[in-house]
């Protein structure tokens, strides 16, 4: 399962449970980082949620 396809089910759950009024999905984020002494590279998805109480 890709990060983007997984984010879809997570976002649906967040909105259906009224944990956020709106969730924006920003696809195709590339992260490069050091982990346990090695340089790693991963594709990620950024989720931005809007609070339902203003």
Q: The domain spanning residue 14 has which CATH number?
A: 3.30.70.120
Q: Residue 45's CB: how many other CB atoms inside 10 A?
A: 18
Looking at residue 37, the DSSP 8-state letter turns out to be T
What is the reported pTM?
0.69
Question: What's the structural domain count of the chain?
Answer: 1
- 3-state secondary structure (DSSP) of residue 17: coil
Q: Using alpha carbons, select from 42, 19, 39, 21 the residue that is nearest to residue 31.
A: 42
Residues of the domain holding 34? 3-50
Q: Note down pLDDT in tens along the chain; length 54 residues.
A: 676 777 788 889 999 998 999 999 998 899 999 999 999 999 998 999 988 665
Instruction: Report residue 11 CA to chain centroid gap.
Output: 8
Q: Hey, what are 5's tokens?
A: 């396809």
Task: List all residues 6 or more positions away from 21 whose beta carbon is below 8 Å from its beta carbon.
Answer: 15, 50, 51, 52
């Amino acid at each position: 399962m890709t990060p983007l396809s997984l984010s879809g089910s997570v976002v649906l759950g967040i909105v259906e449970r009224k944990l956020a009024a709106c969730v924006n999905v920003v696809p195709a984020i590339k992260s490069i980082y050091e982990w346990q002494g090695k340089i790693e590279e991963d594709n990620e998805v950024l989720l931005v949620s809007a609070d339902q109480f203003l």
